[in-house]
Amino acid sequence: MGNNLDALTTVFTEFYYWVTVVFMFLIHVGFCLYEVAASRRRNHLHTLMKNTMVIPLVTVTFFFFGWWIYFAFPNGPWIFEGKGIDFAAAEGARPWDDNMGTNLSDRINGVFWAAFLLFSWTAASIVSGAVIERIRSGAFWLLAVLIGSGTWIIDAAWGWHWDGWMVKLLGYHDAYASGVIHAIAGGFALGVLVVLGPRLGKFRPDGTARDIPPHNTWLVTLGLFLIYTGFWGFYAACNVPIISPEGIGGQITGETWTATNIYLAPTTLSAITFNFLMSLSGGLMVAFMVSKGDPFWTYSGGLAGVICASAGNDLYHPIQSMLIGGVGAWFAYKAHFWVERKFKIDDAVGAVAVHGYAGFLGLIICGFMLWGQPSSPYEGYATINPLGMFIGAIIMFGVLGFVPAFIASKILDGFGMLRIPRKVELEGLDFEEEEAYRDALDEVREAEKAMVA
Amino acid sequence: MSTNGMESWAVDLKDVGAVYPFSGSEGLLYIAGLAFWIIWHVVQLRQEAAEVHHEMDMDASGDKARAAIDRY
């Protein structure tokens, strides 16, 4: 810190990211509530623990290697101008570097790491809901690490980094992660589901789908409300809160300090506040209409609305955001049931649709809406364009989402590690615990009765 | 040509105002937004009327309604 202004800026930024992390924690709380509510009573405990253990497993692996990947892989490696792994840029992100701990000359690394880490939890948690009631927890946790500390952070290095090759070559723009979190997680979930198969009883003998309703609609809605709340932190965490023109390599002239998106291009907290609320509203309104007031899909549609508009929510007009949010909710709802009917995919919480399809569509829309706008303040970068955004959507949903999940699931399935046995699925994952619980209650009751004189 | 007129961010930000796409078409956007809102109410009112009509046709004997009251 060179002077008091630098000190103030640094400490403000440190605190800013710290607050976003606390808010984002609510996303995980929301996902846990929502997932448990969507599962049947006989699977509650395992469902809860499956998602809860994402927290420590993704955290330690993100510390061990995930954070390093972000700085080492912006060029592919070997995708952009033949440049390999950027070992120099990634110094400081290795677990043994001295700024990966208490260090008075670096106050940002830990909170910045945590902001990215919370995105990692979200990516894994999105997948968690889709596969409930039949996946082995051990298999899911390996898959969670694969996306949480592997594929998502590769996509962040490629398309959510001021120096990422997708930004430079394709003009990729994804300010609030329609693709880099949501499309990849949706694609990943789909890759697992294709191998995992549907829950027993999901489809009738004639192939039509049965509804397996959430056991507790209240808890679903509470979970989704918490996800909305955490999403505020997520949005704020996607911004650099304050930076001087010199901090952006002198590309921006003058003396006006600004907030920027992750690409260091100017935006404002005001803009994203308008657009978050308007896209949420557009999504809720259309989802209510298209689902005829179904609470589960109305709430999910609100989320799909935000996700669809997120790629360009740093720059859209609020009414544009609202309309894009509405389109995203409509598309997610229709695509979910079409895929379910056509391909017999049992996505228990609609995660592939809400995150994957809405995120994918959001990238395409962004390509048209922001066509020709600079993707970066730096010279020589491609401008935002529909083709680049379409290729980006394929990379996020397919190349880094669906494909690795499909391959990893096939391997796990080959070893008999992916799905629980039929008998266990029918009696419920918590069968043993439930029986022990009932036995304990019976024993205590009998003992207490015997004590009555 | 860019949808917000910005060709580069190498500018002095004190000289830059609105940067949303299709700046200048706010009037049309406003009309589209109003239409969206009004259409939502029309569709919702129709859907609710159909739902109420459907519920009126259900359970002519009242047995299920009495059971529902007991559950409440």
Average pLDDT estimate for B40-65: 90
Contact partners, residue A93, CB within 8 Å, separation at least 6: A67, A68, A70, A71, A72, A100, A109, A113
Give which of B33, B6, B10 is closest to A320, Cα–Cα. B33
Could A377 and B10 be called an inter-chain contact, meaning their C-beta atoms sit closer than 8 Å? Answer: yes
- Any chain B CB within 8 A of the CB of A369? yes
Confidence bin at A453 (pLDDT 50/70/90): confident
Cβ–Cβ < 8 Å for A322, A278:
yes
**How confident is the model at residue A448, as a pLDDT?**
95
- Name the residue with higher pLDDT: A304 or B65: A304
Give which of A168, A158, A64 is closest to A117, Cα–Cα. A64
- Any chain A CB within 8 A of the CB of B13? yes
Structural element, H or E, at residue A4: helix A4-38
What ipTM describes this predicted complex?
0.92
Structural element, H or E, at residue A244: none
Dihedral angle of Cα A253, A259, A264, A265, to the nearest 10 degrees: -70
Calpha distance A68→A199 (Å, rounded): 38
Cis omega (within 30 of 0) on the bond before A77?
A: yes
- Any chain A CB within 8 A of the CB of B22? yes
Confidence bin at A156 (pLDDT 50/70/90): very high
Cβ–Cβ < 8 Å for A38, A251:
no
Residues A333-392: pLDDT tens digits? 999 999 999 999 999 999 999 999 999 999 999 999 999 999 999 999 999 999 999 999
Tokens of A246: 């010199």
Residues A313-350: pLDDT tens digits? 999 999 999 999 999 999 999 999 999 999 999 999 99
- Find how far residue A373's CA is from the centre of its chain: 26
Calpha distance A149→A157 (Å, rounded): 12
The partner residue sitting opposite A252, judged by closest CB among B2, B13, B20, is B13
Burial class (CB in 10 A: 0-12, 13-18, 19+), A118: buried
**How confident is the model at residue B61, as a pLDDT?**
83
Tokens of A125: 């948690």
Mutate to test the interface with A, among B6, B7, B9, B13 (most CBs of A within 10 A): B9
- Any chain B CB within 8 A of the CB of A387? no
Superfamily of A4-420 according to CATH: Ammonium transporter AmtB like domains (1.10.3430.10)
- Any chain A CB within 8 A of the CB of B3? yes
SS (H, E, C) A337-349: HHHHHHHCCCCCC
Could B11 and A379 be called an inter-chain contact, meaning their C-beta atoms sit closer than 8 Å? Answer: no
Shortest CA gap B62–chain A (Å): 25
- Any chain A CB within 8 A of the CB of B29? yes
Locate the chain A residue with the closest alpha carbon to B1: A372
Could A285 and B40 be called an inter-chain contact, meaning their C-beta atoms sit closer than 8 Å? Answer: yes
Could A373 and B40 be called an inter-chain contact, meaning their C-beta atoms sit closer than 8 Å? Answer: no
Cβ–Cβ < 8 Å for A313, A279:
yes
C-beta atoms surrounding A203 within 10 Å = 16
Locate the chain B residue with the closest alpha carbon to A327: B36
Q: What is the DSSP string of A364-398?
A: HHHHHHTTT-BS-SSTTPPBP-HHHHHHHHHIIII
Residues A293-323: pLDDT tens digits? 999 999 999 999 999 999 999 999 999 999 9
**How confident is the model at residue A368, as a pLDDT?**
98
Give which of A256, A67, A85 is closest to A148, Cα–Cα. A67
Q: Which residues of B touch A316 (CB under 8 A)?
A: 20-21
